[in-house]
Structure 1
Amino acid sequence: MKKMIVTVCQIDPRASQIENYIAELKLHIAQNKSDFVLLPEMCFAEWVAAEKTPSATKWATAVDDHNKHIAALSQYGAKAIMGTRPSINSAGSRRNLAYLWTQESNIPAPVHEKYYLPDEEGYYEHTWYDRGEKSFDLCRTLDMRIGVQICTEMWFLEWARHYARSRADILCVPRATPHGSTDKWLAGGRASAVCAGAYNLSSNLWCPPGEKANCGGLSWIIDPEGNVLATTSEHSPFASAEIDLDFARKSKQTYPRYVPE
């Protein structure tokens, strides 16, 4: 059996709170001997897309804040960490980039740029940055095959089926989603896990109700049959569980995954 300890979290990205959350996350990782950690969407700076009018200066500051924190991921104590970061490519295009950091390389490798971008109150993402390529490839670490769908991308369940065909062991869904919608998102995570025959991990941003950034928390770990193994809350912002990679791999041959397209 190939087992792994995975950790999800909800993090308050406000400048007054982020360092406290990081310190507590490091403690949780040490106590639970976490192998793999999923961070929320663009969690190392305040959620810029809450504002309707984009600012090149604020985006650049968010890029710098993420660079600083990502450079310190070796201090967290995990073997591998995934998150997303604001980026600017060589053509000057702003993107939301998923990355995978590993203890072995100590370099955050690019994995996927967010393709499906909402544009509404609190989430003016299509206004703030550009979509990436329509590409949903696997990345690999710790003998795990990992797919990633950034927030809104989870609702395009055809990609969960794609990841089932690609033999993904886990799907990672870093999020920034609002208060009042957490039950809906958890239901979607369960459906995604069943479609993919893979563990579904999601970490969300969290801010108190009434803040400019409407981020509602509730992160989760769900098994390939849609069973919820662990969740977070305001008072328990970190959660870990043991997953069985063999179970995910066998799940590809059971209902409904075996049913042909």
Structure 2
Amino acid sequence: MVRHFKIALVQVSLNGLPDQNLSKCLAWVRIAAEQGGQVICLPELYSSFYFCQKETTKYFEFAEPLYDKSFTAFSELAKELGVVIIVPFFEKRTEGLYHNSAYIIDADGSEAGLYRKMHIPDDPCFYEKFYFTPGDLGFKAVQTQFGKIGTLICWDQWFPEGARITALSGANVLVYPTAIGWHPHEKSEHGPMQHDSWMTIQRSHAIANGTFVAAVNRVGFEQPEPEQPGLEFWGSSFICGPQGEILAQASTDEEEILVAEVNLDLMAEVRQNWPFLRDRRIDAYGNILKLYHDESSP
């Protein structure tokens, strides 16, 4: 088993032209590999701007069926470069049934796994329930040539249950392709707190599970429709170690690549000294399966 590998995050701005985004991201993945990345991840919904700011059927045109042009292009590149590529895309399963998904493409170009986003938000400018059906593949870790990768997507990052189950499946690193940003009218008052909460919850997953965490966001201001307020994506992609320590972090407003090492020997040492998995009381956790627990709950 590989005990050390490098993960690379590609933080980029994206537009409403899928072919341009595909060409751009292929080029950035190539650069990430040149910089030493062996497991390379793109932001959520890489092929377009973040269209969920508005509910309209015209944006279903961005969806593509499984193993279409995104898979073909990145599969060929993964095989050429000998790297693992995580490709988050808008999946068309059939008419009226769509997912927010991610391929995990192994270093030989084969599909190592597929993940479908489990938690689907519905907030102002994040109207994802209109577009996406919740995932039906569950939380899992996928074995690749460089490590066992647990891929979750954006809103999943706020839920400790998803992180825990994925870690218990053997993930060496939890990878969160993301599209998150500020509403312009909220940034001055709530922006710092929102950003800090986003960092804190994901670092806590690393600590609680003794694993590495990598979150990759898009960057830039996106306003798909003139009447919309738009979103300022805050970048800040980061990689942290199993004690929540920041190994690499990007800016809030620049396109860039982050690279950091995933060290399984360090992961083992941390888990041996902080044995949270050992001390779990699985016999006492039944109520976690209830929506809410109080005296009136059956």
> What TM-score do you get using the length of structure 2 for normalisation?
0.76
Give the Cα separation in 2 of the matches to 1:249 and 1:54: 48
Larger RCO (CA under 8 A, 6+ residues apart):
1
CA distance in 2, matches of 1:22, 1:143: 20
1:92 is displaced (CA, Å) by 4.3
Q: CA deviation at 1:225?
A: 0.8
Q: Is the 8 A contact 2:84 2:104 kept in 1?
A: yes
Aligned to 2:292: none
Task: State the AA in 1 paired with 2:119.
Answer: Y
Gaps of 5+ in 2: 183-190, 225-229, 282-298
2:203, 2:14 → 1: CA distance?
A: 26
Give the unaligned 5+ runs of structure 1: none
For 1:153, what is the secondary structure of its paired residue? helix
Letter of the 2:77 counterpart: Q
In 2, distance between residues paired with 1:208 and 1:115? 26
Q: Partner residue of 1:206?
A: 219
Q: Who is 1:248 aligned against?
A: 267
| Number of residue-to-residue matches in the alignment | 256
Q: For the residues of structure 2 that align with 1:92 and 1:46, how far apart are their CA atoms? A: 21
Alpha carbons of structure 1 residues 129 and 15: separation in structure 2 relative to 1, 3 Å:
closer
Q: Percent identity?
A: 23
1:208, CA displacement in angstroms? 2.7
User: Which 4+ residue blocks in structure 1 deviate beyond 6 angstroms?
Assistant: none
The 5-angstrom pairing of residues 147-226 of structure 1 reads 147-179=150-182, 180=191, 181-208=194-221, 212-226=230-244
SS at match of 1:159: helix
Per-residue Cα deviation, 1:203-254 (whole angstroms, up to 9, x for no partner): 1121237773442211111101100000112335211012212222443333
Q: Which amino acid aligns with 1:229?
A: L
Does the Cα contact within 8 Å between 2:13 and 2:255 map onto a contact in 1?
Answer: no
Of 129, 132, 151 in structure 2, the residue corresponding to residue 129 of structure 1 is: 132
Partner of 1:239: 258
Q: CA deviation at 1:3?
A: 1.0
Does the C-alpha gap of structure 1 residues 156 and 169 become closer, same or farther in structure 2, counting only changes over 3 Å?
same
Q: Which residue in 2 is equivalent to 1:80?
A: 84
C-alpha displacement at 1:90, in angstroms? 4.5
The RMSD of aligned alpha carbons is 2.6
Shift of 1:12: 0.9
> Partners in 1 of 2:82 and 2:60 — Cα distance?
28
TM-score of the superposed pair, with normalisation by structure 1: 0.86
Q: Which moved more, 1:69-78 or 1:85-94?
A: 69-78
